[in-house]
Structure 1
């Protein structure tokens, strides 16, 4: 009886070991599709392709990027939300499909609950900038100019309905000044108007403006958020300068998979993606493009999403803004 029991334990152990080896081998041969809601050539596309390449190199398996632009990332989010929950279809996106769009769009073709976090991959430093042709050298001078002449209160944004838009509204409210969000089709158009003096102020990702900033064609008046940025040592946060409204403005990129994806699959992807984001070479390369790689867990990512919903939901509702 003892011999039979021992043999049974050994057989079960062997089966478990074989299954474990098979699972690991299968993971290395599976192909994942990383879906991005923007055309090829942008910073998020570059991040997705770097993740896919490193995923292949580190033995995670095969990976490729699918660009599905349209409807402010909602088409990409919908595709991934409807995909089979097996970990082979991954959304790479900013947080707005989860923290802004539920309050600004009357109808979504996906539910934020249909997607679950895998890993926080990168922060996008946001700066308030102005053309060097403008007279104000810092944010306080600009605010004084707006108080004297509300006509200079136009603030250019690369689209409405996101954290930068509502940050402008909060800044105006806290400081009792008149600021008017002005929507642009993209960052290049916005910064061109800044340099030409056609719009007094702009708020956008630092990366798209780095070369112009270094060339002295635009000035960075302050950073959104409360934390400094390592590759912008001379730029203080707006919060540090006594400006309210932008302390909770964050743009960041994370990975998501469909709800129902097995926990062990999520854990494997999470481990791989965090390791990729912490790759020192990748971090250095993306700093040059104005992106801070993070590599944070799914749990901390969910906490951040919950916090952003708590902060922005009442602000967005109070604004009355609707995207459609």
Structure 2
């Protein structure tokens, strides 16, 4: 048993421990009543938006804070990316990172932000294929028929994407490079308007993110292939582009969450811990699976390595294909 004298000697040490612990807890989440803004660089209805809306309520529960979605479409996500790069690094502005802004556009032109230095990776959230889709009334029943049509169009065949520098454009450009065929790029301000015009027959095809899955299920779109090297459990029975006559074709899509550089390390760590729990939740995983996404999570360091490797991979493709930025 501690004597009164020994207890008196311990009190200053206990007070010091309390003083050290309190700021750490405070810094991890200073004001849970202040809304956390999750910025999406595309209109409502696309894959990045669907992910944010699935994750936000569960993240709010984990953090005991308010989480809101802020859609800022335009320029293939660049407008929103630049805005977040310049936001206060306090944990209250987060961004749904997509390959375009972080691994593709850096290889196309000088940007107002540095994708490596201006952001703090938190975690990858989902991986998925893109899907090569055409309208329900389209004459193309498979990739072989599509390629034959592209070949006979003599460079006048077009494809839609969610914007310049998006993974949908890269998916189409890799197809062009591996087949030697030519297609004209028609960029939109997001996946949803691109899909609308493909459904209407205005543009014949697009390489969509998996937000097209409900439209495929309802018969409004026909899926011809998935872009990953292996078939996707989210699209059972759908062949890959590679096995449909384009050997070596492989484009894997992903979305993750980042914060502005300088966000305190303990805040990043708390966000990562919360997201690991959120992405393991069976209800969240099922909800994302409906949208064609495979929920996952990793460490900030692993996410940073993915971003670096993807920048190198797509930079090589862009140079070989001669893709030009705006």
TM range (shorter): 0.7 to 0.9
TM superposition shift of 1:40: 4.2
| 2:174 is aligned with 1:173 | no
- Residue range with higher mean Cα deviation, 129-138 or 3-12: 3-12
Q: Mark the runs of 5 or more structure 2 residues left unpaired by the alignment.
A: none
For the residue of structure 1 that corresponds to 2:308, the secondary structure is helix
1:257 maps to: 259
What is the TM-score of this pair, normalised by structure 1? 0.83
RMSD across aligned positions (CA): 3.2
For the residue of structure 2 that corresponds to 1:92, the secondary structure is strand
For the residue of structure 1 that corresponds to 2:257, the secondary structure is strand
| 2:129 is aligned with 1:139 | no
Counterparts in 2 of 1:119-268, with a 5 A limit? Answer: 119-147=123-151, 150=154, 153-184=157-188, 187=191, 190-191=194-195, 194-195=198-199, 199-208=203-212, 210-244=213-247, 246-247=249-250, 249-268=251-270
Number of residue equivalences: 320
For the residue of structure 1 that corresponds to 2:244, the secondary structure is coil
Q: Are the equivalent residues in 1 in contact too, given 2:177–2:321 (CA < 8 A)?
A: no
TM superposition shift of 1:45: 3.0
Q: Distance in 2 between matches of 1:202 and 1:147?
A: 17
Q: Distance in 2 between matches of 1:73 and 1:196?
A: 25
TM superposition shift of 1:62: 2.7
TM superposition shift of 1:127: 0.9
2:93 maps to: 89
Q: Name which of 22, 35, 38 aligns with 1:34.
A: 38
Over residues 109-132 of structure 1, what are the superposed CA-to-partner deviations in whole Å (9 max), with x where a residue is unaligned? Answer: 222121121111123531112344
Q: Mark the runs of 5 or more structure 1 residues left unpaired by the alignment.
A: none
- Residue range with higher mean Cα deviation, 115-124 or 15-24: 15-24
Over residues 157-187 of structure 1, what are the superposed CA-to-partner deviations in whole Å (9 max), with x where a residue is unaligned? Answer: 3333333323323323323333443445554
